[in-house]
Amino acid sequence: MSKVLMACLMLAANTYSVPPAVLVGILEVEGGKVGQEVKNTNGSYDLGPMQINTIWLPELAKYWGVSERTAKRWVRDDPCTNMGVSAWILKKHLNETGSLSKAISYYHSRTPRLGRAYKKKVVRAMRTKGLVY
């Protein structure tokens, strides 16, 4: 992971009070890159390093007071914005569920089977990095 991504990740974790190890795990599983835009089977796109789904763009654009096009560019092309949105999404799910485990699952999908499989991948990635035992 580049120093820029790590600095952005730590800032995002601190800003939203989420565990940086979880963000590292998500980054490893998502495997995105700055500037990347990946089309999903449902017609949405995943953007940047943390693969933020375009479903979040209307809410982000309204919050930031910018167009959805501008929000998309920021999320896709700016590593710190991408990491910040990722931590914000994780925190929203954590606040909603009261469970870090469920928040990680919801980051990917609210479909239980898909969420559980994703959470296992994130935990495996954290173990591989020596962040959890």
Please, are residues 11 and 85 in contact by the beta-carbon 8 Å criterion? no
Measured in Å, how far apart are the chain's first and last C-alpha atoms? 21
Enumerate domains of the chain plus CATH numbers.
3-128 (1.10.530.10)
Compute the mean pLDDT over every residue in the chain, rounded to the nearest whole number. Answer: 96
Tens of pLDDT, residue by residue over 55-83, are: 999 999 999 999 999 999 999 999 999 99
User: Can you tell me the distance from the alpha carbon of 3 to that of 93, in angstroms, rounded to the nearest whole number?
Assistant: 27
Instruction: Answer whether 0.85 is exceeded by the pTM.
Output: yes
